[in-house]
Amino acid sequence: MKSIKLLFFMLFFGQLGFSGQLQVVATYGYIGDIAQRIGKDKVEVVSLARGDYNPHIIIPKPSYIAKMRKADLLIINGGQLEIGWLPQIIKQANNGAVQPGERGFLDLSMHVHLIDVPTSVSRELGDVHPEGNPHFFMDPDNIPIVAKAITERLSELDPDNQAFYEENNKEFYALWQQKMKTWEEKLKPFKGVKVVEYHKIFDYFLDRFGFVIAGTIEPLPGIPPTTKHIADVEKLIDREKVQFILQDVYNPQDAALYLSKKLNIKLLILPHDVGAVKEADNVFSVFDEIVRRLTNG
């Protein structure tokens, strides 16, 4: 009888299954992977969205509420990428610790510089994000910044392990810089190469390595292409001598396939997050795979 009472008490006060690990919920796979590399065995990390789905449109499954209920730290991409699905999960989780503004809420977009900040916003222009292009994770130079922000927040919430987190971050930083050199080396010949992408999702990557973005297959962010717009892109590819069409894994590929076949140019499907393609199973291999597909193409 006593043990039942105790069990009920523990269940009631949310301590059941408490293992001393910091509970971290990450909205996307890349965030979860970085958090796991910094926190190692001191944290338990759950990533919500599937890496091969559209990061803007995620079904707000009630199972996410259960995960959010137990979180000590919620790490989001920010820049309004989660605006369509996350707010209700936070509201329904009844967890004061991860409310925006609390120490248990970390918005990574606040720590990086966002490009394409619109001077004025109107939905006439499609699904524009007032804070700028939110896909900053595609710039590999932003990854160490993100890792540092996560390190600082973990240290703040769990000061006893601050040295541990900082050590892991240092290790991660060194590894990342090493990788950076390889990617830079491999992509050197691509400076000035013109590409067309489906959605403005690879801009940070392309800017970083000197590609030139000639246009997008979407006429406006989030709006599927019309026949007329595809014809315009066709002319653009021809005129600008575009070498690649780049496409994410989740948007329909018909338009890109049609253009690639008709104009005989390479169509490359690139990962945009951990889990987008089979080979991209961590934050390093996402970029390895992008570089591999570009250089093989």
Partner 1 sequence: MKLQKKCILAFPILFVWSCGFLRAQSREGSAFDQSRYVPDIALILDVSGVGRDMANEKYYSLTIPGFSYPFLNQPSPSGLNAQRGMNFNYGEMSLYSVVDPYFDLFAVIDLAPDGAGLEEAYFTTRKLPYGFKIKAGKFLASFGRVNEQHEHYWDFANQPLISMALFGEDGLNEIGAQATWVAPTPFFLVFGGEVLNGKNQQSFGTGGFSDPQNIISINPVQGPNLYIGFIRSSFDIDEASILFGVSNAMGAARNADPGFSSAGETGNAVAANTDIAGADLTVKYSLDAIRFIGFQSEFMFRVMKGTQYTHESFGGDSLQSLDKHNSGFYAQLVAKLDQLWEIGVRYDLLMQNDVVLGGRNMPLPSNLPRYSAMIEYSPTEFSRLRLQFDRDQSRCLPVSGGEWSQQPYMQVILQANLTIGAHGAHAF
The site for partner 1 (CB under 8 A) is made up of 11-17, 52-54, 57, 59-63, 65-66, 69-70, 83-88, 91-96, 99-101, 123, 126-127, 222-224, 249-252
Backbone angles phi, psi at 124, to 5 degrees: -55, -30
Q: Which is nearer to partner 1, 53 or 258 (CB)?
A: 53
CB-CB contact of 30 with 285 (8 Å): no
Euclidean distance between CA atoms 36 and 14, whole angstroms? 23
Q: Which is nearer to partner 1, 59 or 296 (CB)?
A: 59
Q: Which is nearer to partner 1, 108 or 249 (CB)?
A: 249
Which of the 8 DSSP states describes residue 199?
A: S
- Shortest Cβ distance from residue 106 to partner 1 (Å)? 17
Euclidean distance between CA atoms 276 and 248, whole angstroms? 8
**Residues with Cβ within 8 Å of residue 236, at least 6 apart in sequence:** 196, 214, 215, 242
Please, what is the Cα angle at 129 between 199 and 245, to 5 degrees?
A: 10
Q: Which is nearer to partner 1, 95 or 133 (CB)?
A: 95
Q: Which is nearer to partner 1, 17 or 297 (CB)?
A: 17
Q: Which is nearer to partner 1, 214 or 269 (CB)?
A: 269
- Shortest Cβ distance from residue 186 to partner 1 (Å)? 29
Cα–Cα distances in Å, from 21 out to 40, 71, 98, 209?
Answer: 10, 11, 16, 39
- Shortest Cβ distance from residue 179 to partner 1 (Å)? 28
Displacement of CA 231 from its chain's centroid (Å): 31
CB-CB contact of 102 with 75 (8 Å): no
- Shortest Cβ distance from residue 169 to partner 1 (Å)? 30
- Shortest Cβ distance from residue 47 to partner 1 (Å)? 14
- Shortest Cβ distance from residue 52 to partner 1 (Å)? 7
